[in-house]
Amino acid sequence: MFKVPPISAERLPGLLRSMPKAELHIHIEGSLEPELIFALAQRNELTLPYASVEALRSAYAFSNLQSFLDIYYAGASVLLHEQDFYDMARAYLGRAARDNVLHAEIFFDPQTHTARGVAMDTVINGLHRACEDARTELGISATLILCFLRHLSEESAFETLEQAQPLLDKIVGVGLDSSELGHPPEKFARIFARCRELGLRLVAHAGEEGPPAYIWSALDVLKVERIDHGVQAVHDAALMQRLAQDRIALTVCPLSNQKLCVFPNLADHNLGKLLDAGLAATVNSDDPAYFGGYINENFTQVFAATGLTAKHAYQLAFNSFEASFAGNADKRVWEHKLKETFERCVEHDY
């Protein structure tokens, strides 16, 4: 294991921004900035229930997950055509590249769109074309993860999988998101088993607001490879041990947790506790347009609020590459670049 050199507190924010990283928890609909929502509404001749970009942005005050989801699904309703999905994903990837993201695994919520009459291939082809163009134009690697909405039925999830079946070569895996409480992972046991048979990689949101029992069932019933959020695991010592032993990555989203009141303050965030217990935690942005920052903002703010160190920074970036669904050759290249960034940081002031 790489021995992380000592790095002063003043240099830490610069290092956090410049270090290469992967983003494994980003809902592409949550990257829709108010300006783009208004531009797409105008292009598609839709009227929004807000007078201006500022009025929309000022509605972004949330008390819990559901209060956010209501406004998030309303925002996504401006997406109608393949070019809309392309523009949204291309904008995110441009922004992520500026934060030194080398690889992104992007969630999308097709049921939000198909329920409004948008065809599945409109959604997936637009997102996929943006990923391809970003690879050639920016050198960033990006793949897609189709998320089932857990507040909807198992039947709706199966319908969604059927619609996506001809396009499965354009997605790497499936996930589970939306309203957690009252919708435990086991509700989706059969659809996840089917996706596993199809060779898709599996992740699920669990332990964001929900109890540790939801994390257990995501692991044991759904057989997921990563847990999205998972911060409630600290309330169950046996679960912490299981997550550490099996190197199950947690895709933690500090600013999301702050904005959705999962922790009273960012200073109370348990990211350091998770890392110090040997868990493979990562830092991600979740819905950056709604929660006040992209991945680098998540890194710099949670480090400033909780006093994490350069060693934690290295571990988080390393975990993000290790936990990705990319191939081993890519992982080794990215991890080498990470090491070089830390070595350079000691040699030069930046």
* Residue 128 or 150 with smaller CB distance to ligand ADE: 150
Window of 157-165, 213-221, 262-270, 281-289 that interacts with Zn ion by CB under 5 A: 281-289
Stated as kind and residue range, the H or E segment containing 70 is helix 65-75
Q: By C-alpha distance, which of 262, 249, 207 is closest to 229?
A: 207
Q: Rule CB under 6 A: is residue 99 a binding residue for ligand ADE?
A: no
Binder of ligand ADE out of 23, 33, 208, 297 (CB under 6 A):
208
Q: How many residues belong to the site for ligand ADE (CB under 6 A)?
A: 11
Binder of ligand ADE out of 12, 15, 26, 65 (CB under 6 A):
65
What is the C-alpha separation between 263 and 256, in angstroms, rounded?
Answer: 10
Q: Rule CB under 6 A: is residue 27 a binding residue for ligand ADE?
A: yes
Q: How far is the CB of 181 from Zn ion (least distance, A)?
A: 15
Residue matched to tokens 């198909």: 114
**Residue 65 is encoded by which pair of tokens?**
């997950």
Q: How many residues belong to the site for Zn ion (CB under 5 A)?
A: 1
Q: Rule CB under 6 A: is residue 30 a binding residue for ligand ADE?
A: yes
**Residue 181 is encoded by which pair of tokens?**
């409480």
Is 208 part of the annotated catalytic residue set? yes
Q: Rule CB under 6 A: is residue 287 a binding residue for ligand ADE?
A: yes
Q: Rule CB under 6 A: is residue 205 a binding residue for ligand ADE?
A: yes
Binder of Zn ion out of 29, 99, 180, 286 (CB under 5 A):
286
Q: Rule CB under 5 A: is residue 105 a binding residue for Zn ion?
A: no
What is the C-alpha separation between 327 and 152, in angstroms, rounded?
Answer: 33
**Residue 13 is encoded by which pair of tokens?**
């924010």
- Pick the catalytic residue from 208, 297, 340, 343: 208
Sites for ligand ADE among residues 243-282 (CB under 6 A): 256
Q: Rule CB under 5 A: is residue 99 a binding residue for Zn ion?
A: no
Q: By C-alpha distance, which of 324, 295, 291 is closest to 105?
A: 324
- Residues 23 and 295 sit within 8 Å (Cβ to Cβ): yes
Question: Rounded to the nearest 10 degrees, how much is the dihedral formed by the CA atoms of 155, 70, 99, 126?
Answer: 50
SS3 95: helix
Question: Rounded to the nearest 10 degrees, how much is the dihedral formed by the CA atoms of 208, 212, 216, 221?
Answer: -60
Residues that bind ligand ADE (CB under 6 A): 27, 30, 65, 72, 177-178, 205, 208, 256, 286-287
Active site residues: 208
Residues that bind Zn ion (CB under 5 A): 286
